[in-house]
Amino acid sequence: MARHISTIPRLVTAGILAIAAAGCASSGGTPGATAASAPSSAAASTAVTCAPASGQGQVAVSIKDFAFGPATITAKVGQTITFTNQDTTDHTATVGGTCTTGHITPGSAAGLTFSAPGTYDFACAIHPSMTGTITIS
């Protein structure tokens, strides 16, 4: 079962997040986490928001055997990338060290939604050898 929180309204996102240089709230962990780092190929003001693991336009990613499947993900701005933990231990999907799904317990899911195009590296904060790349168009 996914854990849900409110996301930042779309009208506020463009103005405030550009000034704040990327805000982040978590769908599976700590609400109100701050300042996601810029993606590797986009401007520093690029916003990444963590969204609930529900809604339309989802891209599914499985976490199994201490790996993300797939580890190379392609999505569009506004799509939610839903990470489902099929392992026996907690994992995260963390972008830039600060924007995170929080702990995803076995059998649970959490999501990240990107509001700007770019290439984003992510990893499991608990198991740093688990890595991947998200390309948003």
The answer on pLDDT for 62 being more than 80 is: yes
Average pLDDT, the chain: 70
The answer to the question of residue 113 being in a domain is yes
**What number of residues does the chain have?**
137
Q: Taking 80 as the threshold, does the pLDDT of residue 90 lie above it?
A: yes
What is the distance between the alpha carbons of residues 14 and 11, in angstroms, rounded to a whole number? 6
Tally the domains of the chain: 1
**CA gap 18, 47 in Å, rounded:** 7
HSE (side-chain half, CA atoms, 13 Å) at 117 = 2
Euclidean distance between CA atoms 113 and 133, whole angstroms: 14
Contacts of 43 (CB under 8 A, 6+ apart): none
Q: How confident is the model at residue 28 (pLDDT cuts 50, 70, 90)?
A: very low
Counting residues of the chain whose pLDDT is more than 90, the rounded percentage is: 45
Would 2 be classed as within a structural domain?
Answer: no
Tell me what pLDDT residue 44 has: 31
| CATH number for 14 | 2.60.40.420
Rounded Cα distance between 110 and 120, Å, is: 17
Bridge partners, residue 136, by sequence: 75, 118
Q: How many CA atoms lie within 13 A of 3 on its CB side?
A: 18
Say if residues 69 and 84 touch (Cβ distance below 8 Å).
no
Does residue 5 form part of some domain?
no
- Residue 5: pLDDT over 80: no
DSSP 81: E
Is residue 111 within 8 Å of residue 85, measured between CB atoms?
no
Residue 1 in any domain: the answer is no
- The domain of 132 spans 10-136
